[in-house]
Structure 1
Amino acid sequence: MSNDAPLQLKPRLAITVDQAQSIVRRMAPHASVLGITELHGGEISTVLEITLADAPACILKVYPASLQWKMAKEVYVLGLLRDLSTSIPKILLADDTRTAIDLNYVLMTRLDGAILGRREATLSEAELFAIYAEMGAALRRINDVALDSFGYIGPNGVWTAYPSNHAYMSAQFERKLTEFCTRGGDPALAARLRGSVAARQHLFEAAVTPRLCHYDFHAGNVLVTPEGEPHLTGIVDFENATSGDPLMDIAKALYYFTPKDAPKRDGLLAGYGTIAHPDWEQTLALYHMYCTLELWCWMAQIGKREMLADLTTKLASAA
């Protein structure tokens, strides 16, 4: 078992009005800050809304000391999506000088709308199907962005480039299985998982062109109209983006769904459209197993070991 200390995330910041004023006036010299509110959601970065007296509110996103490079990554990925028909944040300022505050941050436009996750309980099955169909169509447009190689996206593009999805996903599974054992996972289960991946590795080969994947596409990162029939108004949080198989993006989007979420699953797939892959359901199942393995390693890394038993049971069922 690893003796490493848990990864420290979500910096706890007490941003003063003077600090916020200093940041905002770098892009709007005459802006006047009225207030600062921390927005909830996400485990990595601190996200604050800055209200201005004479201009639209903006969003300040601050990255933890251990993941400062994610600032440049988010700027890069949002740049790839300038022509996306769905609204995404616009970068107003990206600062890695650590002068205003001692961490990297971006200042972004604030998108209109309410977080979908806060509206879902009030929506009918038909409304859930419809809004998830809009999300599926938007995800398809994100996946339409082609990149040069497969791999995880870093500050300036793909960090470690792989020539094929097979090479990339094989490496990812091996890396995560090694981490699984290092962090206290059962070696016998890891061996079973390796065998399961080996038996299904041909499924990786259908993805020929690397595509941009949001890889964190869920109701907490989607904005919708705040009242009445819901419609998509924006998508946020691209800091986990990868260059890979679009089915990986779909698998992650569907990951937390249960049988009662059938309207959401059906809507997302309907909106996404035709999947030109003869074994797409089997591929989704394989990627679902990867998502579980990845989540196990992440929970172990950040010290949430109480989550590991349930995830271990899911891995054993998938092997």
Structure 2
Amino acid sequence: MTSTHIDVGAIDFDALGAWMDGQGLPPGPVTGAVPVTGGTQNVMVRFERAGVPYVLRRPPLHARPRSNEVLRREARVLAALRDTPVPVPRLVAAQTEREPVFYLMEPVDGFNPSTGLPEPHASDPAVRHRMGLEAAVALAELGRVDPVVLPGYGKPEGFLERQVPRWRAELDSYGALDGYPGPDIPHLEETARWLTDRLPASFTPGVMHGDYHFANLMFAFDGPRVAAIVDWEMSTIGDPLLDLGWLIATWPSNDGHVPGLPSPRELVECYAALSDRDLSSVDWYAVMACFKLGIVLEGTHARACAGKAPKEIGDFLHATTLDLFARAHDIMSGLLR
């Protein structure tokens, strides 16, 4: 986590302290408040009180329409996973009855690999290779959680059947934006047909992270273990194998910031050794992840064409969408191993 330009002074720490008193937390003045980033637009601030460190997570000061509901869901899933083996930030307390919703968690003793590698990770290729496998280990642990811990959290019935129509409709909706010429995405129709024709017959519902990729993991400083899975904004009850597909679809190249990572197939083999889920359709989940994420990113390109987002960002994300659909085509063709 690194500093960002959040106005810490805009947070009412006196009111926060009074609320913490009501939660039975150690009393005293708030000290050492510094902003941190967590990969989202939400506000995160680290501070201490009575010598105990905390991280506050709350919506941005100019909240998005669903900001409070998203944090309610995050707090709920972190509470449900708190006493499981799944590595998550440990929830301390949450204020969900009124807005703005916020919660406190313990700071994670770890680092995000997208910001650089400490030792021994930087110089030991075996540690870096194992980091990749540990991403699959943590995901398999999440896949073992019984979804009864989160009643009513998602709609697993028909989850897979909804995916292609849901995201095709999302792509079609971009046509309402003036200036967007429509999707110029090679393999779009082919991918949609492939997914529809090969829909897995059934799945076992479970807790999904929803955005499971390398940048949403923090690793222990002393080795390759995942210290915490972060940013649970897109979590739901669905098919956990889509998280595995998402990990494959977004897997960094070996010339990236963490060289020497295992191959996607090694990830699958590691996950399979720890899970009783049927992985015979794992390519379907990877292609589905490429399809969904590519369409989501194309939305920013469409808004950029309409003058509602920076052109350079829209162009970059459109290129990423093309890369994702090319990756989907490689998987469908049996080329990605």
Structure 1 residue 292, shift from structure 2 partner: 1.5
Deviation at 1:62, TM superposition (A): 0.6
1:263 pairs, out of 227, 238, 261, with: 261
Unpaired segments ≥5 residues, structure 2:
330-337
Instruction: Return the TM-score normalized by structure 2.
Output: 0.74
| Partner Cα distance (2:292, 2:162) in 1 | 13
SS across alignment from 2:207: strand
> Is 1:292 matched with 2:294?
yes
The one-letter code of the counterpart of 1:211 is G
Q: Does 1:94 align with 2:94?
A: yes
Is 1:182 paired with 2:176?
yes
**1:7-156 counterparts in 2 under 5 A?**
14-27=10-23, 28=25, 30-54=27-51, 56-64=52-60, 65-66=63-64, 67-96=67-96, 103-120=100-117, 122-147=122-147
Are 1:212 and 2:207 counterparts?
A: yes
Q: CA deviation at 1:223?
A: 2.6
2:157 alignment partner, SS class = coil
- Counterparts of 2:136 and 2:6, CA distance in 1: 32
- Aligned residue for 1:197? 192
**Local SS of the residue matching 2:34:** strand
1:245 is matched with 239
Given that 1:189 and 1:316 are in contact with CA atoms closer than 8 Å, whether structure 2 keeps it comes out as no
Over 6 Å off, 4+ runs? none
Letter in 2 for 1:313: L
Is the 1:73–1:156 Cα contact (8 Å) retained in structure 2? no
Aligned-partner SS, 2:14: helix
**Which whole-Å deviations, capped at 9, do the CAs of 1:260-318 have from their partners, x for residues lacking one?**
35624456434322563334224412321221112222566683542333135336645
Q: Which has the higher contact order (CA 8 A, sep 6+)?
A: 1
Q: Is the 8 A contact 1:203 1:283 kept in 2?
A: no
The CA RMSD measured in Å over matched residues stands at 3.4
Change (3 A) 1:168 1:11: farther
